[in-house]
Structure 1
């Protein structure tokens, strides 16, 4: 354990001690107060120690909060271990649906081919004409003589109309 983990463990231990130090007296005070309340029904007198219930409530609340902080790491660790298989299944379900499209995208990125806009044939990247139909794969701008993709409507260099 490093210094930070030791410090955190010390704080957790303190919270646990404080939690039990508040919770146990709080429960006892509430128990005595409630006992006094219910025992007063027997003799029709006012309960003597009912006020202890209201003193015990904040003690019980603070004890519960401190114990929550003291055992938070254990609780969070357990919860994450329980939920991990569900998250894994969800991720696998999402990935399964996108496998084909990711594969197609990777295939498109990897290939050094350009697709003919007329027939759809893949041709070498440096080819000027389609191997299948013979049509031009690039358009040359008549103003600046820059090569553009076959499906371009405007020149990428000068911005003028190619067609």
Structure 2
């Protein structure tokens, strides 16, 4: 499995960021327009209100696209498929210091012994957190594998 984020996901991420910036500019420009036009009459339809609404819509869509670009479709929660979510989140986890992978790996371990068609074996792993440094250690450990203090 590759730890690289695909070009499509990077493109979606950057399009989302662009929409967020555009939305913020449109939203804030409506307030600037109102401040400038305070002395003039509001004879026509209020275009500043429409810009604010379009700006908010751009911000919301941009945030969704940024989430999909960073975490993938399943990783962002739009598709409920745990296996696909793990695959989508792999490069995101590597960038975040593998914190999410540590949690996922310590909840349950599914190992495929003889390839794709073999039965899967589920094994429960219990870890103990060190009081000094917070590292996860095996349940039978006497000393922390990270800092060496007594558990």
Please give the range of the TM-score, normalised by the shorter of the 2 chains: 0.3 to 0.5
Structure scoring higher RCO (CA < 8 A, sep ≥ 6) equals: 2
Structure number having the greater helix percentage: 1
Q: Normalising by structure 2, what TM-score? A: 0.44
